[in-house]
Structure 1
Amino acid sequence: MLSSRAIRVWTWLHKWTSLICTLFMLLLCLTGLPLIFHHEIGHLLGDEIEAPELPAAMDKQRVSLDVMARAANAQHPQMVIQYAGENEEDPRLWWFTLGPTPEPTENYKSVAVDARTGQVVREYRVGEGFMDLMFRLHVDMFAGLPGKLFLGLMGLLLLIALVSGVVLYAPFMRKLDFGAVRKDRSTRVKWLDLHNLLGIVTLVWCFVVGATGMINTWAELLVQYWQYDKVSALLAPYKDQPVLTAAERGPLQATLDTAMKHGDHRKVSFVAFPGTSFSSPHHNTFFLKGTTPLTSKLLQPLLIDAKTAELTAAPELPWYLTGLLVSQPLHFGDYGGMPMKIIWALLDIATIVVLGSGLYLWLRKPQGARKGAKGTKTAPAGAADALDDAKDPETAAA
């Protein structure tokens, strides 16, 4: 049984972590819902790019990576190719990201090229449309890295709110049958019971999605640390060398062939070209993926010398990057097909109800429960007035 002091501490934690993060969690749940079905919605909106139909004899052929790169670069000859990779939904297409310089920038273009013919199919609508709006709001609220880290902090507050909510409500819920909603009580009590029920049902999911979302906000920092801690030592011989110009580089296809030779039957996830944040000034860095639902999210980097097409290094990803890569599909539920997406969507909707009902219960908390009785020490208000719950559920708050 919790002591009065422990209840006050847990109550304070639950109240303030819940109040601070609720509106941001509602934003993330609302924007995350369409992102679960981003491919399906993209098809409906006409944003998804599909490979044109060709005769069966041509469907298996592939042109060289150099041909595809030249076609993409011809669309924006004033830009340089930063990244390229196979389309996850359709391997007949490759995408190429181009920017003014190799360094990351908001001003970039993305072009889809048919791997069978080497012809440009269409440009992606970068920064346009409904799904891009949802994605940017969900990832960083249009605030870049500071926005990501801020949302990561909100995710941490959510995890604290979940743990403290379980600690405070567990004793009270033992007094009722699981799933009981007291329909004969006031509207507020019925919402309290529904809030508790949905909170318990979605608890594990909320914790998993909240934790993986928080980890994802650290992606840029984790990659930078990996480059500083591990990759920099491997690239010491190339330190301070200028970025290889296009004329100085050898054939792209030769570097792809080297990657495939050492890739242990893996597929290309993406390629980072010299000077970009995922590579070095002297290498084409291939990130290869497995062919199963799980291994397709685990990447193996191969640093291929862009001039000689020789393998320089094949570093193993450290545990923190492996954890990051595993957390990304788990966050959106996109590794188990449509059934998993539907389950994720239903749990997302239930979480929206939990967050909304928690806010409603706080706003509708009786004035006396907020301020405490006259002449007594004011009790902390919030979702966890556990002592009041034990005495009279009518005074409980979300």
Structure 2
Amino acid sequence: MTIAPGASTVRSALSAHAAMGLLAGALLYLVCLSGTVLVFYQEWQRIEQRDAPEMARIDPQAVQRGVAAVLAKEQGKPASAHLYVHMPVPELPRATITTDHQAVHLDAQGRIAAPELNHWSEFLYALHYTLNVPGVVGMTIVGALGMLMVALSVTGLIAHPRIFRDAFRLRARHGGGVGMADWHNRLSVWTLPFGLAIAITGAVIGLAGVGTAVLARVAYGGDIAAVYAPIFGKEAKPNAARAPVADVAAALVQMERVYPDIAVTYVTLHDPGTAGQHVQIVGRHARRLIFGEYYDFDAAGLFTGTARLADGAIGQQAAASNYNLHFGNYGGLPVKICYVMFGLALTIVSATGVYIWLGKRRRRGLREPWLRGAWHGVVWGAPVALIGTLGVRLVAGDAAPFTAIFWTGLLLAVIGGAVLAGRRERALTA
């Protein structure tokens, strides 16, 4: 004898199922929205800290003085595994040094000018990159959402065989959600190459962490660095014995002399202050999609080779191009503007897709006003909460809890939207 669930139980299960679908849609919408805003990541940093020293270039000796000054401040602390120097570039003309313990701006003479204060930009980056969930878990969630975007794009094309023929057909005046469906479909077609590129590269970036961990455990005895070595080069063998600071200036001078057409964007000092330290310079190649090439130097500043990201295997070059293709860090301001426009279109597509789905459920007799109200809260609450965090940053300073403010504001918007929609529905049916 079987016991069938009651009608109320079935309705509750269907509502719970719909709520989980709404959650997936909300996360996808947040990734699209935050990614659109994040296109101007470097510009946001300049807005956040407008008084930081800026320069078109910095002398190699000034960089050396800055490295020495930063490491001197860390005497008595656990040694930093890496020291990073962000070199001035047109998009962010600042020299900044970051270690495991601090991040500071340098002036043109290499003196420490001020701490780096860009917590709002970092909050925005984390929102897009991990949904503010720490570690590999957040990256995996976002990577899975990238795969979902690919699946939605492909199945949408299959489900609408006339979608290209009707690419410019709009029935905005028709009721029943037809106009919204047309805008959803048209924007999906117009942004299809961009959407697929963003979705695929996002999935690769997001799932790289868990994929690498699994591959390292299965094939490399848990050595994650060994997984990355065929693409990005091997790490030098460490030697923890103390030694004078590496000659970063000599490496930069040699870069200028041997590769005058290569724009230096980053300098990484591995294991600073040890006998195993070495210098790695990232050089950006003009008219290339790769983020740059790794130029390796020993502690004395002598060139030892490259990782061959610019001229190695096709797989290497593709891996080195993934990040720029996803974030639009190539081609300057015109490309960024295009990324914002296409990103806004993707955000609208993700929002209208859920509205269309909710409309279909309603036409099937599933009256769930609280779901539609909650979605209103997501669509309008997320940008308002994001603007609110920026306002707090500009008014109250860098130390505000931006993550807590954003998610609390969004949660209140969702709950408020659901409650108001439920009350409105009861009033109409009373």
Counterpart of 2:271? 275
1:281, CA displacement in angstroms? 7.3
Secondary structure at the aligned position of 2:161 is classed as: helix
Distance 1:167 1:141, change over 3 A: same
1:118, CA displacement in angstroms? 1.8
Secondary structure at the aligned position of 2:293 is classed as: strand
**Match status 1:292 vs 2:286:** yes
Counterpart of 2:180? 191
Assess if the C-alpha contact under 8 Å between 2:226 and 2:234 holds in 1. Answer: no
What one-letter code is carried by the residue in structure 1 that aligns with 2:115?
A: E
Counterpart of 2:122? 132
Assess if the C-alpha contact under 8 Å between 1:283 and 1:303 holds in 2. Answer: no
Distance 1:233 1:173 in 2: 47
Counterpart of 2:43? 40
Q: What pairs with 1:76-87 in structure 2 (closer than 5 Å)?
A: 76-77=74-75, 78=77, 80=80, 82-87=83-88
Assess if the C-alpha contact under 8 Å between 2:285 and 2:293 holds in 1. Answer: no
Counterpart of 2:13? none
* 5+ long unaligned stretches in structure 2: 1-17, 213-223, 367-430
**Match status 1:251 vs 2:252:** no
1:265-292 per-position Cα deviation (integer Å, ceiling 9, x unaligned): 434332332338xxx9724232331452
1:164, CA displacement in angstroms? 1.0
* 5+ long unaligned stretches in structure 1: 1-14, 54-58, 100-107, 372-398
Counterpart of 1:201? 190
Assess if the C-alpha contact under 8 Å between 2:225 and 2:235 holds in 1. Answer: no
**Match status 1:215 vs 2:197:** no
Tell me the TM-score normalised to structure 1 length.
0.69
Tell me the TM-score normalised to structure 2 length.
0.65
Distance 1:266 1:244 in 2: 34
Counterpart of 2:109? 117
Counterpart of 2:96? 95
**Match status 1:161 vs 2:152:** yes
- Higher fraction of helix: 2
Identity %: 19
Distance 1:319 1:137 in 2: 31
1:224, CA displacement in angstroms? 3.3
**Match status 1:337 vs 2:332:** yes
Q: Which has the higher contact order (CA 8 A, sep 6+)?
A: 1
Distance 1:281 1:148, change over 3 A: farther
Counterpart of 1:151? 142
1:123, CA displacement in angstroms? 1.6
Distance 1:90 1:160, change over 3 A: closer
Distance 1:184 1:117 in 2: 63
1:220-258 per-position Cα deviation (integer Å, ceiling 9, x unaligned): 5778355444788785xx4xx5334244x5533334445
Number of residue pairs matched? Answer: 329
The two structures, once aligned, show a CA RMSD in angstroms of: 3.7
